[in-house]
Chains A and B, each alone.
Chain A
Amino acid sequence: MTHLGEPLYSKPVRIRERRRGYYVFFVAVPLLALLFQVYVPLFVSSLAYLELPLLVTLHTALTRRAPLLGLSYGCGVGLLQDALSNLPLGMYGIVKTLIGFFAANISMRVDVDNPLVRFLTALTLYFFHQLFYWVLARALLGQQIHFEVATTLLFAILNAAVAVPLFQLLDKV
């Protein structure tokens, strides 16, 4: 191996690895999260409370620390989630766009590698996710949906509890 050979050989390898990382983050992870959301509650109905698409959006926004990327990722995942439901396209899209943007902005100001910070961030943003959805459903669709604060808070805690180990797992991907 010459001194000229190394860059010629190693650069494509690095690019390939980076591309693989992109595919995993931007294609495989959201699709698996949506698959989980679609399939698992059929057999374990108690897991229906888990908002995996939201959690992967949060993780991407928090770790990449780029608001544009966060909002785009949230928008894409939200629209996919809308497409797989019977809702008009845009409901989850708008909500997750906002959440992605906020999460990315938080990550630029706070150290989000701390598990406690991650727990609190996931808890707060899950609550706001449900609140935004409720506001949109009432304001834009005219649906009379009830917002149960206690239940939402409980689900927020459960989702945040799942988020901490899930984020650690996704960090290693």
Chain B
Amino acid sequence: MQLLLKRYRDLTVLVLVLAVQVLLLAWQVRTGQDVRLIRVWAVASVMPMARVVEFVRANTIGVARDYFQLVDARSRNKELEKELGRLKMENQFLKTELATADRARALAAFQSRSPSRTLAARLIGSATSSNSRVVYLDRGASSGVRKGMAVVTPDGIAGKIVAAFPSVSQMMMVTDPAFAAGVVSQRARVHGTLKGQSPSVCIVDYVQNEDDVKDGDWFFTSGDDRIFPKGLPVGRVKTSRTGGIFREIRLEPSGIRGGIEEVLIVVEGVHQEIPDSTQSSQELHMLPRPPAEPESDPNKMIDFSTTGSALTTDADQVLERYRRLGAAQGHTYGAGGVPNFNIPVPDAPRAAPSKPAQAEGAPPAQGATAQPAPPAAPGTARPR
């Protein structure tokens, strides 16, 4: 036996090592537990180096690149290119500053607008496996990050935390094949399950063929998975067609469009309503209401917003103008005489819009209504 073991020593060790690893794998799969210690050691040994490299890259590469550009430019035309290089550097610097400020402002605006409590984090590395899409964030358990927390950007959901180490955490992106989240369509409120598929596309599974989902529809988180708060944008449907058992829906995730650098970890999620309007209408820019016209124009148009009336035609405006003039002069149309139509039109009282109607002898408004009095009947208020 000993001779055999000695002779096949390499093979024996190989079988032993493989057996141990298979047992370890089986134990993890069966119990769902993890050998956290090894992971912590690995992360603690590699990630600090990644941090250092990232710090060096962020602080030196840009400057070095600009410097070499300047040297190259100087060789062509010393004086002119020197000036050009300086301007380029300034321009580049300002652009970077602007982009950074824009990104930070968008993130801060979303953070302040969102009812959920969030924590800003930055990507510092990706996972070593080419078959999964997992990245590392620079916030960990010491910052309050826990496994299962949602990760979002101002444009939508980005992924979820799958492991939290003391100083860093691991985020599974929405495009990872193992990712899943409950989603609901904005238009027809069709529920489904979001799954990752390829680096830029997700699928929505378990949607019946009869359900109404069209190209361009938006999907939001449904909150069913108890990870993502309800009402966060997920993405827009690229293609939706009838499948074998379920509808085949391919969706372009909005949260990771164009790559991500900074994200928000949802520490305490708050469910929101799914907006009724489409996403595109939110981008429509509208000016504020114009300021009121200055007074003293005798021929000015009547501002019906002060009276609360819904009448808007020219005839209605003339009628309202005569009614006010009559009320200001104590004149009753149809009782004889003609009021002075050339004096400035008095304003309708804003605080109590029903008073002019009372002055004309109209019945007071019923109850505590704030609605203005209706205009006088055409038969009684028609001017001569």
**A-side interface residues toward B, CB under 8 Å?**
31, 34-35, 37-39, 41-42, 48-49, 51, 53, 67-68, 71-72, 75, 79-81, 83-94, 97-98, 101, 133, 137, 140-141, 143, 145
Contact = CB atoms under 8 A, between A and B. Distances in A.
B134 interface: yes
The bracket for how many chain B residues form the interface is 35 or more
Given A84-B39, A85-B127, A98-B18, 11 more contacts: A35-B53, A37-B128, A38-B127, A51-B130, A71-B17, A85-B132, A86-B178, A87-B129, A88-B28, A101-B10, A140-B29
- A39, A49, A93, A98 interface centre (most CB from chain B within 10 Å): A39
A171 B56 CA distance: 28
A53 B130 contact: no
A140 B26 contact: yes
Contact of A90 (B14, B28, B131, B163): B28
B321 to A, nearest CB: 70
16 contacts: A37-B128, A42-B123, A42-B135, A71-B10, A75-B17, A80-B42, A80-B46, A85-B129, A86-B178, A87-B129, A90-B24, A92-B129, A97-B14, A98-B14, A101-B10, A145-B131
Top 5 closest pairs, chain A to chain B, by CB: A83-B42, A85-B129, A90-B25, A67-B10, A88-B28
A39 B125 contact: yes
A77 B311 CA distance: 80
Contacts, number: 120
Interface of B: 9-10, 13-14, 17-18, 21-22, 24-26, 28-29, 34-35, 38-39, 41-43, 45-47, 49-50, 53-54, 123, 125-132, 134-136, 162-163, 170, 172, 176-178
A137 B125 CA distance: 24
A101 B14 contact: yes
Contact of B126 (A38, A68, A92, A101): A38
Contacts of A35: 46, 49-50, 53
Interface of B: prevailing SS? helix
A34 B128 contact: yes
Contacts of B21: 75, 79, 90, 93-94, 97
Contacts of A86: 127, 129, 132, 134, 162-163, 170, 172, 176, 178
Nearest to B132: A86
B13 A84 contact: no
Contacts of A87: 129, 132
Contacts of B132: 85-87
Contacts of B10: 67-68, 71, 101
B41 A83 contact: yes
A89 B35 contact: yes
A90 B21 CA distance: 5
Interface hub of A49, A71, A72 (most chain B Cβ within 10 A): A71
A112 to B, nearest CB: 18
B50 A39 contact: yes
